[in-house]
């Protein structure tokens, strides 16, 4: 702290012509902090681990010092602003993050080293590296580990680059300062710089390996010992072991928050395989624009902080306790009370009350007697009506700066919840006071207004979520699944816990103070405006907790709930045994239910039962109609959608390649080509027809291409060159998500055959994928390729094969032209088969139930169809199949017997249901007669079950269970009174339990919800 004094001094004596001199002085002045072991982590001598831990431990402190120094420097000299800003932004953006990865920290150390000698150029590198770190940190532990080598390699590049910049800058400085530098020496340097860079890179890689935590090492060894990543992911046992070793919550890997069992292997495998094939370069570049937006917000907040904080720095530097308080009133209190560094919160609030009672009352009487202006209060408004303003506006606050509101007031000051208020906290509080408010206003706001706002938003959130669930029945069937998945997310019951725990304000408290109501509203409005602006800044995309902090700013908004709870817990534990009850008193109980072993408790879910306490705001009460929904939607700006509105399927138009249109230029490459290509899709190899149409651009300069297979379409552009034997060409795919797919091909003029092969970034790691193998393209129309002879047929009988092909093709074309009935029927049959088989194979691949895997004959039928169908048809059929899957009813739970994800309907046991409804036995239609024993339940086929035909949300859960149990009782009653019916049933061979089962199966959840009981 004392050393900042030097900085302050320096910034005042700043010489704008020698910016680096200042920085150097700052560094020297703080050398005891900055110099401490931040560098030369590559130096492996000595106790590596101790050194490194120490370096990490100091890192935050070192950075804060550097950043403060740089901020002063930047203010004093706009010249260095660009580079320094980039650095400060990137470094500070994650400073608050708890789980910083050590590898990222090392990179930041390297950036930090760099910035000390380097200002003008290359801030791009810094931003790029920052964005890479950001993208990396968002990944789960397992996905980081399985791609460790690739990430490390990219990071090592950054590290080497920073080192290189550092060297080149140092030599540039030397060049400037020392006249007559040895130019030979310089040359020598250049020749060796590449070697040096490689060495640096290796050293960095080496360092990254040393930084592996025991857990990372363990997982890496495990993967190595078991035959590599692919092997581990492919094998159920190995994957389970891997997940166990990673110790990571399954929700983070699978992206599902609600899977109640840790056996959702297929979706985890799918996710990890996707991670494995993901292009890192691509990932980094996709993250870059979002990162840039985050930096902009950080920038705004930093500059606001600098605006407000210049005086703060000078204040902090002064010694003496009360002197360090910025606000005069509080300074006086502190001085009068003779307090030292901190004071017990309760005493502070009481003193505050006394002070303001005296002051405001005396001011009122002064004012009555003609008055004079009193110094010591911040200037609030126009000077001429200052007095009346103050008198009118402060008097009412006395009702709230009062022992009755001790708790909320002390919470407002006592930010860390220690029960003591420090000078720093006092200053933070006064600095956050909105412009135009006096301190008593600000305190009164926290005494009551805050709770009023909390209650207001509690109501708003409740009614918003109720609206969401009410809208559910109107959701289009193709979107239903996405909406259901979204509403099952963990966040919803976490929100519910917060809302349920929060005590609402007594609406009468504020009713006699219009001033407070007005201020509370204006404060809420300004905060909301700030949040909206920041949310727009990040495009409403909150990817990590850090981004949330960025959006909410340093201030309250209950700083990202879990961090807040952790901090409070740590402090409460020191003083109170019962953290839970202490939290009950804190922040109106907001955190109480979110502490400790929290879990989903649908039985207490208050979303559907909640009714607005404040009857004035009755919204979302009446059931929503479609008309109302579309009215609301018409006011929503669709630009908030990150991916916009996309069409699921778009047909491709190849008309520009028709021969009639191509006639004006003749080139042997022009026209439509088709052939057979393959690729790995999941774990199987798929072979299909690919179509590529080529033409020259109007200026004859470039080659344009359009193509399609059963999964994708593509556009490409390239060049063609004539060679001795034919034409060589090169194509680059446009809009390729950064994978940089290219194709090289050769047209053999004599044979009229193109041999072509694909290549992209992924090729290096997946060279065995048949996708990269060379394949042949012929001038056969893609719809006629199916009639083409195989090479064997051709070898056996050339004439016969050619004739057969010609006859079949001619017949096809003729029938097509005539719209022949049998032609169309054959098409329809193909479509039905393709869609049915693909849908079934997709649902097996996705681990959905009921499963109906393809038998060998069916699998080869599908394979055959893919090699028969024109890609335009196949792609359309494939899209239909995917849509079939997407439309399936979706359930939050898997089947307790076969472990698959349930589609269509599931059976929920009414007996095997925990009291809080958080756990249950749920079976798929195929396993309905099974008796699983799991998680303490022993299910039995005689149990009563309900058929669940769509996602059963917690919102309805308790209600459905209750209605179902009532129905069971009712049916039982009916049976008991109606002996005849009973005997009748028994005669038909069924027993009573089975009848219940049967009746309940007929009673769908929809019927239960409508309370239409069975007769
Ligand atoms: Zn099952
Ligand atoms: Zn049961």
CATH classification of the domain holding 745? 2.40.128
Contact 927, 906 (CB under 8 A): no
- Show which of 869, 888, 907 is a domain's final residue: 888
Q: Would you place residue 824 in the very low, low, confident or very high pLDDT band (cuts 50, 70, 90)?
A: very high
Burial 9-23 (b: 16+ CB within 10 A, else e): ebbeebeeeebeebb
Measured in degrees and rounded to the nearest 5, phi and psi for residue 274 equal -65, -40
Give 894 Cα–ligand 2 centroid separation in angstroms. 15
Q: Is residue 368 part of a domain?
A: yes
The tens digit of pLDDT for each residue in 594-634 reads 666 677 777 777 777 777 655 544 444 566 777 887 887 78
Give 914 Cα–ligand 1 centroid separation in angstroms. 20
Give 847 Cα–ligand 2 centroid separation in angstroms. 24
Domain match, 958 and 879 both = no
Domain match, 16 and 122 both = yes
Q: Which of 382, 384, 387 is nearest to 368 (CA)?
A: 387
Nearest ligand (C-alpha, residue 932): 2
Give 913 Cα–ligand 2 centroid separation in angstroms. 8
- Region 307-319: mean pLDDT is 43
Residues 6+ apart with CB under 8 A from 421: 342, 343, 344, 345, 348, 410, 413, 414
The pLDDT mean for the chain works out to 71
Domain match, 29 and 155 both = yes
Domain match, 70 and 179 both = yes
- Region 842-853: mean pLDDT is 82
Nearest ligand (C-alpha, residue 896): 1
Give 902 Cα–ligand 1 centroid separation in angstroms. 7
Find the radius of gyration of the CA atoms of the chain.
Answer: 36
The tens digit of pLDDT for each residue in 742-800 reads 889 998 888 888 999 988 877 877 788 888 888 989 888 888 888 888 888 889 988 99
- Region 645-655: mean pLDDT is 78
Give 840 Cα–ligand 2 centroid separation in angstroms. 30
Assign residue 848 a region: left if phi > 0, alpha if psi is -120 to 50, beta otherwise?
beta
Give 941 Cα–ligand 1 centroid separation in angstroms. 14
Count of CB atoms situated within 10 Å of the CB of 61: 12
Beta strands in 432-573 (DSSP E): none
Q: Is residue 241 part of a domain?
A: yes
- Region 356-366: mean pLDDT is 71
The tens digit of pLDDT for each residue in 393-431 reads 677 777 777 777 777 787 777 766 677 777 777 877 877
Domain match, 206 and 222 both = no
Give 605 Cα–ligand 1 centroid separation in angstroms. 28
- Region 432-437: mean pLDDT is 78
Residue 48 has pLDDT above 80, yes or no: no
pLDDT of residue 737: 65
Q: Which of 466, 956, 485, 877 is nearest to 711 (CA)?
A: 877
Bridging pattern class, strands 684-696 and 848-849: unpaired
Domain count, the chain: 7
Domain match, 604 and 507 both = yes
Nearest ligand (C-alpha, residue 934): 2
Domain match, 777 and 830 both = no
**Segments forming the whole domain that contains residue 689:** 655-782
Residue whose token pair is 């042997």: 668
Q: Is residue 788 part of a domain?
A: no
- Region 634-644: mean pLDDT is 75
Q: Would you place residue 569 in the very low, low, confident or very high pLDDT band (cuts 50, 70, 90)?
A: low
Nearest ligand (C-alpha, residue 900): 1
Residue 977: CA count within 13 A, CB half-sphere: 5
Give 991 Cα–ligand 2 centroid separation in angstroms. 17
Residues 6+ apart with CB under 8 A from 902: 848, 849, 891, 893, 894, 895, 922, 924, 925
Q: Is residue 571 part of a domain?
A: yes
Give 912 Cα–ligand 2 centroid separation in angstroms. 4
- Show which of 431, 459, 479 is a domain's final residue: 431
Where is average pLDDT lowest: 305-314, 524-533, 583-592?
305-314
Q: Would you place residue 146 in the very low, low, confident or very high pLDDT band (cuts 50, 70, 90)?
A: low
pLDDT of residue 388: 46
pLDDT of residue 668: 83
Give 925 Cα–ligand 1 centroid separation in angstroms. 7
Domain match, 578 and 703 both = no
Nearest ligand (C-alpha, residue 939): 2
Measured in degrees and rounded to the nearest 5, phi and psi for residue 963 equal -60, -40
Nearest ligand (C-alpha, residue 938): 2
Where is average pLDDT lowest: 95-109, 540-554, 958-972?
95-109
Contact 847, 267 (CB under 8 A): yes
Nearest ligand (C-alpha, residue 921): 2
Q: Which of 524, 70, 529, 109 is nearest to 302 (CA)?
A: 70
Nearest ligand (C-alpha, residue 927): 1
pLDDT of residue 1006: 47
Give 941 Cα–ligand 2 centroid separation in angstroms. 7
For the four alpha carbons of 400, 406, 407 and 410, in that order, the dihedral sign comes to positive
- For residue 841, give the H/E element and its range: helix 821-845
Q: Is residue 287 part of a domain?
A: yes
Residue 142 has pLDDT above 70, yes or no: no
> Omega into 850 within 30° of 0, i.e. cis?
yes
Alpha carbon 309 to its chain centroid, in Å, reads 33
Nearest ligand (C-alpha, residue 847): 1
Give 911 Cα–ligand 2 centroid separation in angstroms. 5
Q: Is residue 641 part of a domain?
A: no
pLDDT of residue 691: 92
Q: Is residue 802 part of a domain?
A: no
Give 383 Cα–ligand 2 centroid separation in angstroms. 77
Residue 664 has pLDDT above 80, yes or no: no
pLDDT of residue 174: 46
Domain match, 69 and 114 both = yes
Give 895 Cα–ligand 1 centroid separation in angstroms. 5
Give 900 Cα–ligand 1 centroid separation in angstroms. 6
Highest-confidence segment of 100-104, 309-313, 959-963: 959-963
Domain match, 207 and 217 both = no
Give 977 Cα–ligand 2 centroid separation in angstroms. 26
Across the strands, what pairs with 938? Answer: 933
Q: Is residue 650 part of a domain?
A: no
Considering only residues 884 and 326, tell me which one the structure prediction assigns the higher pLDDT. Answer: 884
Give 931 Cα–ligand 2 centroid separation in angstroms. 8
Residue whose token pair is 């016969």: 800
Nearest ligand (C-alpha, residue 933): 2
Give 924 Cα–ligand 2 centroid separation in angstroms. 13
Domain match, 477 and 560 both = yes
Give 250 Cα–ligand 1 centroid separation in angstroms. 21
Write out the two tokens for 615: 């009857």
- For residue 677, give the H/E element and its range: strand 671-681
Give 487 Cα–ligand 1 centroid separation in angstroms. 24
Nearest ligand (C-alpha, residue 928): 1
Burial class (CB in 10 A: 0-12, 13-18, 19+), 410: buried
pLDDT of residue 620: 45
Bridging pattern class, strands 671-681 and 420-422: unpaired
Domain match, 573 and 490 both = yes
The tens digit of pLDDT for each residue in 58-71 reads 666 666 666 666 66
- Show which of 619, 644, 669 is a domain's final residue: 619
What is the Cα–Cα distance from 274 to 442, expressed in whole angstroms?
52
Give 970 Cα–ligand 2 centroid separation in angstroms. 20
pLDDT of residue 582: 65
In the chain the first and final C-alpha atoms are separated, in Å, by: 80
The tens digit of pLDDT for each residue in 78-122 reads 445 555 666 666 666 555 444 456 666 666 666 666 655 544 444
Burial class (CB in 10 A: 0-12, 13-18, 19+), 135: buried
């Amino acid at each position: 702290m004392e050393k900042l004094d030097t900085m302050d001094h320096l910034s005042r004596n700043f010489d704008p012509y020698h910016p680096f001199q200042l920085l150097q002085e700052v560094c020297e002045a703080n050398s005891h902090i900055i110099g401490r072991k931040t560098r030369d982590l590559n130096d492996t001598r000595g106790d590596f681990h101790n050194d490194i831990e120490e370096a990490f431990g100091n890192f935050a402190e070192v950075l804060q010092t550097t950043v403060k120094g740089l901020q002063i420097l930047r203010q004093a000299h706009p010249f260095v602003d660009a580079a320094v800003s980039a650095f400060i932004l990137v470094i500070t953006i994650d400073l608050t993050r708890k789980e910083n990865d050590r590898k990222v920290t090392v990179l930041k150390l390297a950036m930090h080293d760099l910035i000390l000698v380097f200002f003008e150029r290359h801030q791009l590198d810094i931003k790029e590296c920052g964005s890479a770190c950001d993208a990396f940190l968002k990944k789960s532990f397992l996905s980081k580990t399985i791609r460790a080598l690739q990430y490390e390699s990219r990071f090592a590049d950054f590290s080497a680059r920073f080192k290189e910049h550092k060297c080149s800058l140092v030599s540039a400085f030397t060049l400037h300062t020392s006249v007559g530098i040895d130019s030979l020496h310089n040359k020598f340097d250049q020749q060796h710089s590449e070697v040096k860079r490689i060495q640096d890179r290796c050293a960095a890689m080496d360092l990254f390996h040393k930084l592996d935590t025991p857990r990372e090492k363990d997982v890496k060894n495990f993967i190595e010992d078991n035959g590599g990543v692919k092997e581990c992911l492919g094998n159920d046992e190995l994957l389970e072991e891997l997940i166990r070793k990673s110790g990571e919550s399954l929700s983070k890997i699978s992206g599902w928050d609600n899977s109640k069992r840790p056996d959702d292997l297929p979706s985890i495998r799918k996710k990890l395989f996707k991670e494995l094939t993901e292009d890192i370069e691509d990932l980094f570049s996709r993250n870059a624009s979002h990162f840039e937006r985050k930096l902009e917000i950080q920038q705004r907040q930093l500059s606001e902080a600098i605006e407000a904080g210049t005086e703060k720095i000078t204040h902090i530097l002064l010694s003496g306790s009360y002197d360090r308080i910025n606000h005069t009133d509080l300074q006086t209190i502190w001085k009068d009370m003779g307090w030292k560094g901190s004071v017990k919160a309760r005493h502070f609030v009481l003193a505050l009350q006394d002070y303001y009672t005296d002051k405001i009352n005396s001011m009122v009487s002064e004012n009555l007697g003609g008055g004079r202006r009193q110094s010591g209060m911040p200037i609030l408004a126009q000077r001429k009506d200052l007095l009346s303003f103050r008198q009118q506006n402060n008097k009412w606050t006395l009702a709230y700066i009062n022992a009755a509101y001790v708790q909320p007031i002390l919470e407002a000051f006592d930010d860390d919840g220690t029960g003591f208020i420090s000078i720093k906290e006092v200053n933070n509080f006064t600095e956050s006071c909105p412009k135009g408010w006096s301190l008593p206003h600000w305190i009164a706001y926290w005494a009551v207004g805050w709770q009023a706002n909390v209650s207001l938003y509690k109501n708003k959130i409740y009614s918003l979520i109720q609206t969401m669930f009410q809208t559910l029945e109107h959701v289009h069937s193709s979107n239903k699944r996405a909406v259901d998945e979204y509403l099952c997310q963990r966040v919803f019951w976490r929100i519910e816990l917060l809302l349920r725990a929060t005590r609402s304000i007594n609406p009468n408290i504020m009713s006699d103070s219009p001033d407070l109501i007005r201020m509370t509203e204006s404060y809420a409005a300004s905060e909301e405006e700030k949040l909206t602006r920041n949310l727009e800044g990040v495009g409403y995309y909150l990817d990590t907790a850090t981004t949330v902090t960025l959006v909410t700013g340093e201030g309250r908004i209950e700083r990202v709930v879990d961090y807040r709870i952790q901090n409070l817990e740590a402090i409460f534990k020191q003083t109170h045994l019962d953290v839970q009850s202490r939290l009950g008193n804190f922040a109106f109980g907001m955190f109480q239910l979110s502490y400790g072993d929290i879990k989903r408790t649908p039985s207490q879910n208050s979303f559907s039962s909640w009714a607005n306490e404040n009857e004035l705001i009755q919204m979302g009460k009446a059931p929503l109609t479609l008309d109302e929904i579309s009215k609301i939607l018409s006011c929503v700006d669709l630009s908030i959608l990150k991916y916009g509105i996309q069409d699921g399927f778009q047909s491709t138009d190849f008309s520009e390649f028709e021969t009639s249109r191509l006639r004006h230029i003749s080139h042997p490459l022009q026209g439509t080509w088709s052939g057979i290509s393959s690729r790995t899709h999941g774990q199987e190899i798929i072979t299909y027809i690919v179509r590529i149409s080529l033409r020259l651009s109007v200026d004859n300069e470039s080659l344009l291409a359009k193509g399609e297979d059963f999964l994708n379409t593509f556009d490409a552009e390239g060049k063609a060159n004539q060679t001795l034997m034919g034409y060589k060409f090169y194509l680059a795919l446009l809009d390729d998500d950064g994978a940089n797919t290219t194709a090289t091909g050769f047209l053999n003029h004599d044979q009229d055959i193109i041999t072509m092969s694909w290549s992209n970034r992924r090729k290096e790691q997946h060279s065995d994928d048949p996708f990269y193998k060379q394949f042949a393209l012929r001038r056969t129309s893609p719809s006629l390729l199916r009639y083409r002879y195989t090479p064997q047929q051709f070898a056996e009988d050339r004439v016969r094969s050619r004739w057969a092909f010609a006859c079949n093709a001619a017949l096809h074309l003729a029938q097509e032209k005539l719209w022949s009935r049998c032609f169309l029927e054959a098409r329809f049959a193909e479509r039905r088969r393709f869609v049915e088989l693909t849908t079934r194979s997709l649902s097996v691949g996705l681990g959905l139930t009921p499963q109906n895997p393809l038998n060998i004959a069916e699998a080869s039928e599908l394979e055959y169809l893919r090699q028969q169908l024109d890609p335009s048809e196949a792609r359309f059929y494939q899209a239909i199949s995917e849509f079939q899957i997407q439309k399936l009813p979706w359930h939050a739970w898997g089947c307790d017997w076969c472990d698959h994800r349930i589609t269509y309907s599931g059976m929920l046991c009414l007996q095997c249901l925990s009291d809080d409804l958080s756990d249950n036995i749920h079976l798929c239609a195929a396993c309905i007669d099974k008796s699983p024993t799991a998680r303490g339940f022993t299910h039995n086929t005689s149990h009563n079950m309900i058929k669940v035909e769509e996602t059963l949300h917690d919102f309805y859960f308790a209600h459905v269970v209750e209605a179902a149990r009532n129905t069971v009782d009712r049916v039982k009653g009916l049976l008991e009174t109606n002996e005849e019916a009973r005997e009748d049933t028994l005669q038909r061979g069924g027993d009573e339990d089975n009848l219940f089962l049967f009746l309940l199966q007929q009673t769908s959840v929809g019927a239960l919800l409508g309370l239409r009981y069975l007769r």
